[in-house]
Amino acid sequence: MTLNRRDFTRLGALGLAARFAPALPAQPAQKKVRYAVIGLGTIAGHFMPAARSTTNSEITALVSGHRDKAERIAAQYNVPPAAIYNYDNFDQIAANPNVDAVYVALPNSMHAEYTIRAAKAGKHVLCEKPMSTTVAEAESMIAACKTAGVRLMIAYRCHYEPTNLRAVQLIRSGALGQVQTIESAFGFNCSAGQWRLNKKLAGGGPLFDVGIYSLNACRYLTGEEPAALSAYASTIDRDGRFNEVEENVSWTMKFPSGVVAACNTTYGGVMEGYFRVHGSKGWLEVNNAFVYEGLHLRAEFGETRLDEPNPARDPSHFQAEAEHFSHCIQSNLEPKSPGEEGLRDMRLITQIYKSAGIDL
């Protein structure tokens, strides 16, 4: 199926761009998928208004350790007091018929526990990335959801975002010729005191948090899994922030086709999220590739010059992923970024840390 830029923008706005899916025939109106949001931090603050802006999703329950905060947010989303849970009584959600699915927006080390508890409660699970902090946890999450007969999707929102999909389409169409190399990076200067710097909560440093975007992008841009990799890690700033996790990680990957990728991530400096793909006939790059707005694709190949800023604004990425997962639940379909996708990244993250000489 060949899609032009206008097609992708239209499909992306409808949340249907993933995997270049054709327009679906009109369907009877279905009941919205009702979500319990577990954890009310920053990322949940992006997801909740996005879910509310869809046609097939709504927020009907909250899970938080801070009752006062939960009550304030509940008032915004018409969530009844009885549908506010804490982490101790969370399992009671099994008896709530107004919850079909959960959105896990907790620190990384808590993803496995609450995914498994939600599955045992009979609820579908949309879990933030990274899906876990170990390969064993990821495997347990997948197994628990399969045993319970519920769907598990990892919130790789870039899989549903039009500019990233446009880049994939151009590569698949052969516009760049044979891809030779990819460069990608994402990082920021992490301030002291954040949970991201606590290894018990985060699992590791910037690779778990933002480097995973570059790792995953290299996989969806090539459509391949790395055949070999090599990595280095370092800590330059000895200011106390990096007593538990590393500051920088750099790694290279070679794919079966011969494509070589070079990636960097950091918690110690400003590193705009981007990827650049070099092919035998040209190149393309996306700047601000992994953030919520301001994405910009540029490319040159043959006589063609592309300059395509994306005007979409937050929370469009979250809206697309919520719409997709809700559609999968309603239609009994497998999500485009299932648990197995997260597991593949967890296995690669483990290999990267091993190559860099870091124990997880």
Q: Which residues are catalytic?
A: 129, 213
Q: How many C-beta atoms surround the C-beta of residue 280 within 10 A?
A: 11
- What are residue 74's phi and psi, to 5 degrees? -60, -40
Nearest CA among 190, 182, 236, 232 for reference residue 209: 190
Exposure string over 21-33, b if 16+ CB within 10 A, otherwise e = eeeeeeeeeeebb
Determine the Cα–Cα distance for residues 117 and 178; give it in Å rounded to an integer: 45
Q: Which helix (H) or strand (E) segment is 202 a member of?
A: helix 199-202
Percentage helix, strand, coil for the chain under 3-state DSSP, each rounded to 5: 40, 25, 35
The residues pairing with 104 across neighbouring beta strands, listed in sequence order, are 38, 127
**Whole-Å CA distances, 200 to 47, 110, 196, 307:** 25, 10, 9, 43
Determine the Cα–Cα distance for residues 206 and 42; give it in Å rounded to an integer: 17
Of how many residues is the chain composed?
Answer: 360
Sheet with 101-104, strands from edge to edge, namely 84-85, 57-63, 33-38, 101-104, 124-127, 152-154
Exposure string over 118-129, b if 16+ CB within 10 A, otherwise e = bbebebbbbbbb
Determine the Cα–Cα distance for residues 66 and 96; give it in Å rounded to an integer: 20
